[in-house]
C-alpha cells in the first residue's frame, strides 16, 4: 500500500507541473517512459560509439596522441646535452606516430594487419620526432610537415593497436574491412607482433596517490600512500607502533616519528600540530605519546628535526662523504621530493605537505576510534585499471630515457675526440632499432621491466585466444590482478558489492586465479587521464578556499569539507553539497569532462574529485525526483537516427558514474522502483554481466557456479572465429562445419555478434535415461544426426618452415620430389613424395597421411666454412631435412593452404595449413550453455532412438540426473523456449533479468505458445521406444537446446603403447603422448603390487618391460666388467682377469647410477650370493 501511494504522488507531481507550464499536446510526450524496453536502444547506441573494447583503444589513442607528447616534453627527457661541449644540445620539439608501414628495399609501403599476421611481421608505425640540434656551429631544425614524417627524424617503430586511431582499419566500413582481409566483427584492441596477436591485459592495482587506511598484521592502524608522478614512484607508510605514530619510507633506514617529520617540514609548534590534526581531546589524547617522544628526543626546531632525519636517511651514492650541513639539506630534499612525492612542494614551501600528513593522521586517529573508518582495499573505488596505453607509456618513457642516455654517451664520445674528419651530425647517431626492439620484445614476451620504478612484471601480454569468437572477445575484457596467486586470502578473490555493473560477477576462472582474474561488464568504460589545470581553476572559482590561507582550526571545523583533487588537497569548502551539485551540473552540461567524478564523503568530511585515468565507470540515466530524464520522444529520435548516444550525454540525460560517485546516488533498477530520492536509473539490468556470461540464456535461473563454468567453457567451444577465418593461418584453428545461431538468444548475443559467429548447434535433446552409457553426464548421440553433419568440425594446423640462410652464404633449399626407378625402368615419384607438386611443396587439396613429406627441404651440410660458390653447390653438399607430416595414425588430412612469403627479416618462409575434418566420436566433449558438460558415451542408430508422435527423433539424449544437483533451471527454460521458438518461427529471448523488461520470454508465455501448437505446456512429450515400439511409461522432456562442441577431442588425446621409443640416457620408455611414451607404473601402483605380493609382476613391470640390462660382475672385487666378444669371455678390468665373473640382470638406470657414482669417486660394489 505504502509503495503505491508514493508512486501516485510522483505522477501527481508530474501532472501538476505539466498542467501549469506546458500545453496539452506536449504533455503526453513529456510523460516518463513506462517500460524499460524502449531504453534498450541506448545499449546498441552506446556500443556503437564506445565499442566493446573501447577502453583499450581509448587508452592507446590517448597514449599516442597526448601522453607520448607529455613524455618527450617532460623535464629530463626534452633535451640531450653533452658534458664535453656545453654548446651542444638536441631538443625534441614534437613527436608523432605515423601510419603503419613496412620498409622493403628502402621503400615504405603501407601494410594491413592481416598481412602482418600472415607474414609474421609486426604491425607498427614509425615514430618521428621534430628536433632542434646543433651541428657544429649551426642550429638545425628538422620538422615534419603537418604531421608527415618526411623531414622529421624517425626514432623507432611503435606497434599499433588494431582499430586505434592510427590503424588502417579505423573508420572503415564493412566492405573496406573485407578488402583489407579483416573481419568487421573483430573488436581490435590487440597488437600484431611478429605475426602473433598479442593483447595487453588490463592490470588491476591499488589507487595511486590516495590515502588508504588499513590495519597491519598486529591489528594496528596504518596508512599508506603510493605516490606516483612522472619522475618518481614511492610508497609512504604511516604506522602506529607502541601507541606512537611513525613514518616509514624506504629512504629512511628506520621508522621516524611523525612529529619529527612535521617539525622538519617547518611545523615547529606542537599546538599547531594538534590543531592541524584536530583539537578534539579524543584526538589529542592519542597524539600525546607521539609528541612526547619528539620532545624526549630533544627535537624542537626544524633544524634539529632535519639533522635527526639526516642521520636516519639511507646513504645515497650522490652525497656520500659529505657531512654536516649538507645532510640537513639532503633530508629536506628527501622530504620535498621523495616522501609523498605527489604533493607538490615549491621552493620548500612545506605547508601543503604538512596538511596532507595531518589529514592522514586525522584519518588514522578516526580509524583507531572507529574501526568502520578503515578503508577496504578490495573496494573497486580504491582500484585503478592500468591499460595498454599506460603500460606502453611507462615502457616508452623508459626506453626513450635509455635511448637519450645512449645518445648522450655517443655524443660525448665523439665530441671528446679532438679532430674529427666530418661534421658531427647527431641525427645520424640515432638508432631506431633500440626503441622498436624494446617495444616489440616487451609485447611479444610480456615482460615489462622498468628499472627506474623497480617494475618487473611477467605475463603482461597474452596471445589472443582464437579458439572461438567469444574467446577472443573475452580476452579483450580480461583484468588480471597484481595479487599473488598462491596466497590463501579470500578478500581479493571475493565478489565485491561495488563490482556491480562494472565487473562481471560470473566470468572468472576456477582454481588458483579464481577471483583474481576478472572481466569487464558490458557497459563499463575505463577512464583516461584528463587535464587537471582547468579543473583546479574551476574548483577555486566555485569557492574552494585555498589551503595556505587556512589554519588547522578552520580545516576541521564542523561544516567545512576538505576538497581532494586526484588525491591532492585543494582546500576546503563550506557548502559541500552545493559545490558538488554545481560541478555535476557543469559536467552534465558538458562544460567539464564527462568522466570527472565528484564524490562527497560526509563521514570523512571530504569531497573527492577525480579526473585520473583507470577508474571504471558506467553510464546511467539521470532521474530528477525519481523521474527519468529520458522520455519517449528521445528514444524515438534515437531509433530514427536523429540522436546518438553522445547526444544523450551532451544533453545531460545520461551520465557516467564511477564507483565512488555511485555511493552518492540512489540507483533504481527500473522506473517503477524509483522513489523521489532516486537519482539514477539503470539502463539495462543485464549489463552487469560481461560478454561471456551474456551468452547464457536465463542465467538468473541458474545456480551461480554453473554460469561461471559456462563462462570458462564458452571460450573452448568450436564454431566460427571470424569472417576471415578461412584466410587466416593460425597455429591451431577449430571450426564447426555447420554452426548455427542459438534458437534461444539474448540481447547480449545480438550486441556482440554471436548470432553471426556462433559456436554451437541447436540439438534436439531428450532428457531421459538410455542404454546405461549415459552415466556421469555422458550423452547418447544419434548416429543419423552425426551422419547429417551434427558436431562435425574442422581442425586446421599450421606448420611453418623457414629457409635459413647461413653465415657462410649457403642457404636451405627446396627441391623437386624424389623419384624412384621402378623395376620396369620407368621413373615414378617416390611413395612418400606423391603429394608434392613439382616444386617440392605439397599441392593444395592433396590428401596427406602420416609419414608423407610435404616440403622436400634440403640443408647444406657445411654451414660454417666458407664455400666457394654457394649458389651452385653440388647435390652432395646438401642433406635431406624434409618436413614430414605427423598426424593421428589412420586418419587422412588435406593440405588446405600453402603460403610462400618472406618475413620482415627477408627470410623465405613456407606456411602449410593442414586440414582435418572430424565427425564426433565416443569421448568427444560437448556442453550446453549452462555449465553442463559431458562426453559422448555412445552413438546409437536412429531406429533405436525414441521418437515422438510427430516423428521427431532427438539428436542426443541427456541423463536427467544432470539436473537435480546442478540446478540449472535456465537450461530447462531454454529447452522450452527453443521448442516454442521452433514452432512459432520466432527467436525467443532469455536475457538476464529480462522478464520485467521484456528481454526474456516468460515461462508462462512460452507454455502458452507450446499449448497452441499442440504440445504439453510442460514440454514433455509422449514418446515411443525405438527398440520395442511401445510407448514409454513417462512423458519425456524434449526440445532443442544449443549445444557447443568443445575443443577436447578423443583423437587428440588417445594414446596407448606396447613397444616404442626409449630415452637414450636411461633406456627407459619415453614419457608423454607426444613422444609415444609408455604409461608409468608409479610409486603408488608399485606399493599396491608390493602389498599384494606380486613380486614377479613388479620385476616384469619395472625391469623386464622397461630397461633390463645384462652386466658382467666380478665376484671378487664387486665391480662391473665387460664381455669381450673376440675372446668370448667376460673380463674384469680391475682384476685384469676373466675368473670369478658372473652375469646378472639389472635395470639400465641402476647400472648408470653405479657408473655415475664411480665418476665422482664413490665405488659401489656388488656382492653376489648364490640364489
Partner 1 sequence: MEMDDLPKGELPPHLELQRTRVVCAADAPSYTESVQYSGAYMAYDVDNSLRMEDFRKNFRVEIKSLNEDDIEFDLIGIDAALANAFRRILIAEVPTVAIEKVYIANNTSVIQDEVLAHRLGLVPIKADPRLFDYKTDEEIANEKNTIVFKLDVECTHMGERVKNASDQLKWLPAGSEMPPDSKTKFTSFGCSQDSLPAFTSEAIASRYPDIVLAKLRPGQAIEIEAHAVKGIGKTHAKWSPVATAKYRMLPEVVLLEDIEGDLADELVRTCPVNVFDIEDMGPGERRATVARPRDCTLCRECVRGDGWDKRVQLRRVKEHFIFSIESTGALPPEVLFTESIKILTEKCQRILTELL
Catalytic residues: 777
What is the smallest separation between the CB atom of 889 and partner 1, expressed in angstroms? 19
Is 938 among the residues that bind partner 1 (CB under 8 A)? no
* Residue 947 binds partner 1 (CB under 8 A): yes
CA dist 544 and 572 (Å) reads: 5
With CB under 8 A as the contact rule, the residue among 231, 510, 512, 787 that binds partner 1 is 787
**Which one of 186, 307, 440, 896 is in contact with partner 1 (CB under 8 A)?**
896
Q: Is 917 one of the binding residues for partner 1 (CB under 8 A)?
A: yes
CB of 957 to partner 1, least distance (A): 17
Among 363, 792, 929, 988, binds partner 1 (CB under 8 A): 792
The yes or no reply on residue 1004 touching partner 1 (CB under 8 A) is no
Asked if residue 524 lies in contact with residue 502, where contact means CB atoms within 8 angstroms, the answer is: yes
Choose one: 224-232, 313-321, 940-948, 1089-1097; the region binding partner 1 (CB under 8 A). Answer: 940-948
Name the minimum Å distance from CB 725 to partner 1: 10
Residue 1064 C-beta: closest distance to partner 1, Å: 40
Question: Considering the complex, what minimum distance in angstroms separates the CB of residue 1031 from partner 1?
Answer: 4
Cell of 477: 575484457
**Binders in 322-381 for partner 1, by CB under 8 A:** none
**Is residue 828 involved in binding partner 1 (CB under 8 A)?**
no
Report the alpha-carbon distance of residue 971 to residue 746 in Å, rounded: 14
1029 binds partner 1 (CB under 8 A): yes
174 touching partner 1, by CB under 8 A: no
Q: Alpha-carbon distance 493 to 485, whole Å?
A: 10
Which one of residues 1011, 1094, 1096, 1163 is an interface residue with partner 1 (CB under 8 A)?
A: 1011
**Phi, psi values for residue 1046, rounded to 5°:** -90, 160
C-alpha cell at 462: 597474452
Neighbouring-strand partners of residue 463 = 198
> Which CB atom, from 459 or from 789, has the smaller least distance to partner 1?
789
Q: Does 1024 bind partner 1 (CB under 8 A)?
A: yes
359: closest CA among 575, 660, 563, 576?
563
- By CB under 8 A, name the one of 784, 873, 935, 1098 that touches partner 1: 784
CA dihedral (340, 341, 344, 348) positive or negative: positive
Give the angle 814-820-826 at the CA atoms, nearest 5°. Answer: 125
| Cβ atoms within 10 Å, residue 720 | 19
CB of 781 to partner 1, least distance (A): 13
Least gap, CB of 1022 to partner 1 (angstroms):
5
Q: Does 890 bind partner 1 (CB under 8 A)?
A: no
Closest CA to 148 of 108, 112, 115, 190: 108
Question: Which residues, 393 to 412, sit near partner 1 by CB under 8 A?
Answer: none
Q: Which residues have C-beta within 8 Å of that of residue 841, sequence separation ≥ 6?
A: 814, 854, 855, 856, 898, 900, 910, 912
Identified binder of partner 1 from the candidate list 548, 884, 1012, 1143, rule CB under 8 A = 1012
Length of the chain: 1171
| Cβ atoms of residues 632 and 31 within 8 Å | yes
Could you say whether residue 788 binds partner 1 (CB under 8 A)? yes
Considering only 324, 511, 533, 951, the residue that binds partner 1 (CB under 8 A) is 951
Query: Please, which residue, 274 or 793, has the CB nearer to partner 1?
Result: 793
- What distance lies between CA 299 and its chain's CA centroid? 52
Question: Residue 1011 Cβ, how far from partner 1 at the closest point, in Å?
Answer: 5
1159 belongs to the binding site for partner 1 (CB under 8 A): no
Q: Is the Cβ of residue 308 or residue 723 nearer to partner 1 in the bound state?
A: 723
How far apart (Å, rounded) are the C-alpha atoms in residues 1046 and 924? 8
Establish if 942 lies at the interface with partner 1 (CB under 8 A): yes
User: Binding segment for partner 1 among 102-110, 152-160, 664-672, 944-952 (CB under 8 A)?
Assistant: 944-952
The partner residues of 719 in beta bridges, in order of sequence, read: 735
Q: Which is nearer to partner 1, 737 or 1117 (CB)?
A: 737
Q: Show the DSSP H helices in 933-996 as ranges.
A: 969-984
Closest C-alpha among 679, 380, 323 to residue 500: 380
By CB under 8 A, tell whether 1031 contacts partner 1: yes
User: 3-class DSSP state for residue 163?
Assistant: coil
Cell match 682377469: residue?
Answer: 1137
CB of 885 to partner 1, least distance (A): 17
CB–CB of 473/188 below 8 Å?
no
Cβ distance to partner 1 smaller for residue 148 or 788:
788
Based on the shown chain and the rule CB under 8 A, indicate whether residue 915 belongs to the binding site for partner 1. Answer: yes
CB atoms within 10 A of CB 1022: 13
Judged by CB under 8 A, the residue of 217, 807, 869, 1033 near partner 1 is 1033
Would you count residue 955 as binding partner 1 (CB under 8 A)? no
> Alpha carbon 434 to chain centroid distance?
27
Q: Choose among 818, 859, 816, 857: nearest CA to 840.
A: 816
Work out how close the CB of 884 gets to partner 1 at its nearest, in angstroms, rounded to a whole number.
23
Contact between 894 and partner 1 per CB under 8 A: yes
Our CB check for partner 1 shows the closer of 133 and 1015 to be 1015
The yes or no reply on residue 985 touching partner 1 (CB under 8 A) is no
Q: Is residue 642 at the binding interface for partner 1, with CB under 8 A as the rule?
A: no
Shortest Cβ distance from residue 719 to partner 1 (Å)? Answer: 15
Q: Please state the φ and ψ torsions of residue 1030, each to the nearest 5 degrees.
A: -90, 160
Residue of the chain from 783, 798, 1062, 1101 that contacts partner 1 (CB under 8 A): 783
What are the backbone angles phi and psi of residue 987, rounded to the nearest 5°? -70, 130
Q: Whose Cβ is closer to partner 1: residue 691's or residue 794's?
A: 794
Counting runs of H as helices and runs of E as strands, what totals does the chain give? 31, 58
* Exposed/middle/buried for residue 23 (C-beta within 10 Å: 0-12, 13-18, 19+): exposed
Q: Does 511 bind partner 1 (CB under 8 A)?
A: no
Beta-carbon contacts of residue 944 (< 8 Å; ≥ 6 apart): 1026, 1027
If one asks whether residue 730 binds partner 1 (CB under 8 A), the answer comes out as no
Nearest-approach distance from CB 909 to partner 1, in angstroms: 24
CA 284 vs CA 81, 212, 281, 604, 1015: distances in Å = 53, 22, 5, 18, 78
Separation of alpha carbons 238 and 232, rounded Å? 19
| Residue 1017 makes contact with partner 1 by CB under 8 A | yes
Q: Residue count at the site for partner 1 (CB under 8 A)?
A: 44
Interface pick for partner 1 out of 943, 1071, 1085, 1156 (rule CB under 8 A): 943
| Residue numbers at the binding site for partner 1 (CB under 8 A) | 726, 737, 783-784, 787-789, 792, 794, 845, 894, 896, 915, 917, 941-944, 947, 949-951, 953, 1010-1017, 1021-1022, 1024, 1026-1035
Amino acid at each position: 500500500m505504502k509503495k503505491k501511494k508514493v508512486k501516485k504522488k510522483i505522477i501527481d507531481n508530474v501532472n501538476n507541473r505539466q498542467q501549469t507550464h506546458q500545453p496539452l499536446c506536449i504533455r503526453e510526450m513529456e510523460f516518463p517512459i513506462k517500460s524499460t524496453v524502449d531504453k534498450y536502444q541506448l545499449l546498441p547506441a552506446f556500443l556503437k560509439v564506445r565499442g566493446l573494447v573501447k577502453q583499450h583503444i581509448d587508452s592507446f589513442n590517448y597514449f599516442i596522441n597526448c601522453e607520448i607528447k607529455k613524455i618527450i616534453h617532460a623535464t629530463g627527457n626534452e633535451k640531450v646535452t653533452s658534458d664535453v661541449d656545453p654548446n651542444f644540445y638536441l631538443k625534441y620539439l614534437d613527436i608523432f606516430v605515423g601510419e603503419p608501414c613496412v620498409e622493403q628495399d628502402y621503400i615504405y609501403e603501407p601494410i594491413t594487419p592481416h598481412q602482418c599476421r600472415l607474414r609474421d611481421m609486426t604491425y607498427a608505425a614509425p615514430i618521428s620526432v621534430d628536433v632542434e640540434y646543433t651541428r657544429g656551429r649551426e642550429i638545425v631544425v628538422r620538422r615534419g610537415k603537418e604531421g608527415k614524417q618526411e623531414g622529421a627524424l624517425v626514432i623507432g617503430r611503435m606497434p599499433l593497436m588494431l582499430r586505434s586511431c592510427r590503424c588502417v582499419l579505423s573508420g572503415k566500413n564493412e566492405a573496406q574491412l573485407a578488402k583489407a582481409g579483416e573481419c568487421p566483427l573483430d573488436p581490435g584492441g590487440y597488437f600484431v607482433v611478429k605475426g602473433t596477436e598479442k593483447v595487453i591485459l588490463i592490470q588491476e592495482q591499488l589507487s595511486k596517490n590516495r590515502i588508504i587506511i588499513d590495519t597491519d598484521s598486529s591489528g594496528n592502524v596504518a596508512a599508506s600512500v603510493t605516490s606516483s608522478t612522472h619522475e618518481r614512484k614511492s610508497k609512504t607508510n604511516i604506522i602506529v607502533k607502541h601507541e606512537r605514530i611513525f613514518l616509514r619510507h624506504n629512504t629512511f633506514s628506520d621508522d621516524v616519528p611523525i612529529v619529527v617529520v612535521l617539525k622538519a617540514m617547518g611545523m615547529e609548534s606542537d599546538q599547531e600540530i594538534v590543531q592541524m590534526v584536530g583539537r578534539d581531546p579524543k584526538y589529542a589524547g592519542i597524539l600525546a605519546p607521539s609528541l612526547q617522544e619528539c620532545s624526549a628526543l630533544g627535537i624542537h626546531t626544524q633544524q634539529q628535526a632535519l639533522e635527526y632525519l639526516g642521520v636516519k636517511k639511507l646513504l645515497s651514492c650522490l652525497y656520500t662523504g659529505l657531512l654536516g650541513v649538507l645532510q640537513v639539506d639532503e633530508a629536506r630534499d628527501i622530504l620535498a621530493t621523495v616522501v609523498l612525492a605527489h604533493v607538490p612542494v615549491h621552493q620548500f614551501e612545506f605547508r601543503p605537505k604538512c596538511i596532507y600528513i595531518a589529514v592522514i593522521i586525522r584519518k588514522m586517529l578516526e580509524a583507531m576510534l572507529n574501526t568502520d573508518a578503515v578503508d577496504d582495499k578490495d573496494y573497486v573505488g580504491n582500484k585503478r585499471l592500468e591499460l595498454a596505453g599506460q603500460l606502453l607509456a611507462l615502457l616508452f618513457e623508459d626506453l626513450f630515457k635509455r635511448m637519450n642516455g645512449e645518445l648522450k654517451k655517443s655524443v660525448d664520445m665523439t665530441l671528446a675526440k679532438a679532430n674529427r674528419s666530418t661534421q658531427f651530425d647527431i641525427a645520424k647517431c640515432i638508432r631506431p632499432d633500440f626503441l622498436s626492439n624494446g617495444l616489440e620484445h616487451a609485447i611479444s614476451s610480456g615482460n615489462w621491466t622498468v628499472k627506474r620504478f623497480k617494475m618487473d612484471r611477467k605475463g603482461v601480454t597474452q596471445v589472443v585466444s582464437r579458439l572461438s569468437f567469444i574467446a577472443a572477445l573475452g580476452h579483450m575484457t580480461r583484468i588480471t590482478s597484481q595479487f599473488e596467486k598462491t596466497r590463501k586470502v579470500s578478500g581479493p578473490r571475493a565478489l565485491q558489492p561495488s563490482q556491480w555493473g562494472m565487473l562481471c560477477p560470473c566470468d572468472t576462472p576456477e582454481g588458483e586465479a579464481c577471483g583474481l582474474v576478472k572481466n569487464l561488464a558490458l557497459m563499463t568504460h575505463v577512464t583516461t587521464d584528463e587535464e587537471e589545470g582547468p579543473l583546479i581553476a574551476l574548483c577555486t572559482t566555485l569557492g574552494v578556499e585555498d589551503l595556505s590561507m587556512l589554519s588547522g582550526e578552520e580545516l576541521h571545523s564542523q561544516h567545512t569539507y576538505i576538497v581532494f583533487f586526484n588525491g591532492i588537497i585543494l582546500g576546503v569548502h563550506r557548502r559541500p553539497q552545493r559545490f558538488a551539485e554545481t560541478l555535476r551540473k557543469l559536467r552534465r552540461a558538458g562544460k567539464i569532462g564527462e568522466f570527472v567524478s565528484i564524490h562527497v564523503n560526509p563521514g570523512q568530511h571530504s569531497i573527492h574529485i577525480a579526473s585520473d585515468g583507470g577508474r571504471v565507470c558506467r553510464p546511467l540515466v539521470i532521474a530528477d525526483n525519481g523521474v527519468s530524464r529520458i522520455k519517449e520522444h528521445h528514444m524515438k529520435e534515437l531509433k530514427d537516427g536523429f540522436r546518438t548516444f553522445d547526444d544523450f550525454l551532451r544533453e545531460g540525460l545520461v551520465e557516467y558514474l564511477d564507483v565512488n560517485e555511485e555511493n552518492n546516488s540512489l540507483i533504481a533498477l527500473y522506473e517503477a522502483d524509483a522513489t523521489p530520492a532516486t537519482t539514477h536509473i539503470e539502463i539495462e539490468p543485464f549489463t552487469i554481466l560481461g560478454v561471456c556470461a551474456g551468452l547464457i540464456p536465463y542465467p538468473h535461473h541458474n545456480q551461480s557456479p554453473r554460469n561461471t563454468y559456462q563462462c570458462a567453457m564458452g571460450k573452448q567451444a568450436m564454431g566460427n572465429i571470424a569472417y576471415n577465418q578461412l584466410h587466416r593461418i593460425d597455429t591451431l584453428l577449430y571450426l564447426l562445419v555447420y554452426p548455427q545461431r542459438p534458437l534461444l538468444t539474448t540481447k547480449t548475443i545480438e550486441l556482440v555478434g554471436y548470432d553471426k559467429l556462433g559456436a554451437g548447434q541447436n540439438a534436439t535433446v531428450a532428457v531421459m535415461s538410455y542404454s546405461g552409457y549415459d552415466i556421469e553426464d555422458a550423452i547418447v548421440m544419434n548416429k543419423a544426426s552425426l551422419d547429417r553433419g551434427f558436431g562435425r568440425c574442422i581442425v586446421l594446423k599450421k606448420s611453418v618452415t623457414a629457409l635459413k640462410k647461413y653465415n657462410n652464404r649457403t642457404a636451405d633449399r627446396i627441391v623437386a620430389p624424389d623419384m624412384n626407378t621402378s623395376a620396369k625402368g620407368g621413373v615414378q615419384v617416390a611413395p612418400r613424395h606423391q603429394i608434392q607438386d613439382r616444386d617440392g611443396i605439397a599441392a593444395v587439396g592433396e590428401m596427406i597421411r602420416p609419414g608423407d613429406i610435404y616440403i622436400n627441404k634440403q640443408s647444406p651440410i657445411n654451414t660454417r666454412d666458407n664455400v666457394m660458390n654457394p649458389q651452385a653447390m653440388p647435390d652432395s653438399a646438401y642433406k635431406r631435412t624434409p618436413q614430414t607430416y605427423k598426424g593421428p595414425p589412420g586418419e587422412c588430412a588435406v593440405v588446405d593452404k600453402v603460403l610462400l612469403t618472406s618475413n620482415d627479416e627477408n627470410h623465405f618462409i613456407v606456411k602449410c595449413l593442414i586440414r582435418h575434418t572430424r565427425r564426433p566420436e565416443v569421448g568427444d566433449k560437448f556442453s550446453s550453455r549452462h555449465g553442463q558438460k559431458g562426453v559422448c558415451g555412445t552413438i546409437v542408430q536412429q531406429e533405436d532412438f525414441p521418437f515422438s508422435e510427430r516423428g521427431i527423433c532427438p539428436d542426443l539424449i541427456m541423463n536427467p540426473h544432470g539436473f537435480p544437483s546442478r540446478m540449472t533451471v535456465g537450461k530447462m527454460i531454454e529447452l522450452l523456449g527453443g521448442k516454442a521458438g521452433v514452432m512459432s518461427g520466432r527467436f525467443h529471448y532469455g536475457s538476464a533479468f529480462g522478464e520485467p523488461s521484456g528481454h526474456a520470454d516468460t515461462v508462462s508465455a512460452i507454455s502458452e505458445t507450446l499449448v497452441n501448437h499442440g504440445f504439453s505446456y510442460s514440454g514433455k512429450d509422449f514418446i515411443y521406444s525405438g527398440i520395442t515400439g511401445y510407448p514409454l511409461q513417462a512423458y519425456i522432456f524434449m526440445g532443442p537446446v544449443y549445444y557447443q562442441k568443445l575443443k577436447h577431442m578423443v583423437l587428440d588425446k588417445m594414446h596407448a603403447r606396447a613397444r616404442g621409443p626409449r630415452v637414450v640416457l636411461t633406456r627407459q620408455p619415453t614419457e608423454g603422448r607426444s613422444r609415444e611414451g609408455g604409461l608409468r607404473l608409479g610409486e603408488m601402483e608399485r606399493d599396491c603390487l608390493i602389498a599384494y605380493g606380486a613380486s614377479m609382476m613388479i620385476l616384469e613391470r619395472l625391469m623386464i618391460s622397461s630397461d633390463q640390462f645384462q652386466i658382467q660382475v666380478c665376484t671378487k672385487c664387486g665391480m662391473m666388467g665387460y664381455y669381450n666378444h673376440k675372446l668370448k669371455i667376460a673380463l674384469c678390468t680391475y682384476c685384469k682377469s676373466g675368473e670369478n665373473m658372473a652375469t646378472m640382470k639389472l635395470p639400465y638406470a641402476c647400472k648408470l647410477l653405479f657408473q655415475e657414482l664411480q665418476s665422482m669417486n664413490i665405488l659401489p660394489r656388488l656382492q653376489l650370493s648364490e640364489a
